[in-house]
Amino acid sequence: MDFMEVRFDRALPIDRDDVEDELNEALAGLGEVSGAGSGAFGAHLDVDIDPAAARDEVVDRVLSVLNGLGLAGLARIRPGDGTEWFEVGDK
């Protein structure tokens, strides 16, 4: 996996920059936020992942950060090697 998409389908209760900072810290050495955007239907973050990184570890770290920031029910992630979305708070 070399990419992950993080989607926010509603307004965030915290600043998106804070989410980016926390993800970058948690993924140090494995990946980093490389882009972001927002629109009428929410916002997203693009995360570049080291292709050699263990998929489960990256997914767990990202979900842990988003849960820790209180974003359960507000965010979901999709590893770039698949079509499955993981809802924050489900795993």
Q: What is the CATH number of the domain that holds 46?
A: 3.30.70.2200
Q: In terms of residue numbers, what domain contains 78?
A: 3-87
For residues 74 and 87, give the distance between their C-alpha atoms in angstroms, rounded to a whole number: 8
| Residue 28 pLDDT greater than 60, yes or no | yes
The structure tokens 């209180």 sit at: 70
What's 9's DSSP letter? -
Mean pLDDT, residues 20-30: 97
pLDDT tens-digit series, residues 44-75: 999 999 999 999 999 999 999 999 999 999 99
Measured between alpha carbons, how far apart are the two ends of the chain, in Å? 19
Q: What confidence category does residue 90 fall into, taking pLDDT thresholds of 50, 70 and 90?
A: low
This prediction has a pTM of 0.92
Task: Compute CA distances 51 → 13, 44, 55, whole Å.
Answer: 32, 21, 9
Counted domains in the chain = 1
**Residue corresponding to tokens 């820790």:** 68
**Do residues 85 and 75 make contact, with C-beta atoms less than 8 angstroms apart?**
no
Higher pLDDT, 41 or 3: 3
Q: Would the pLDDT of 91 be above 60?
A: no
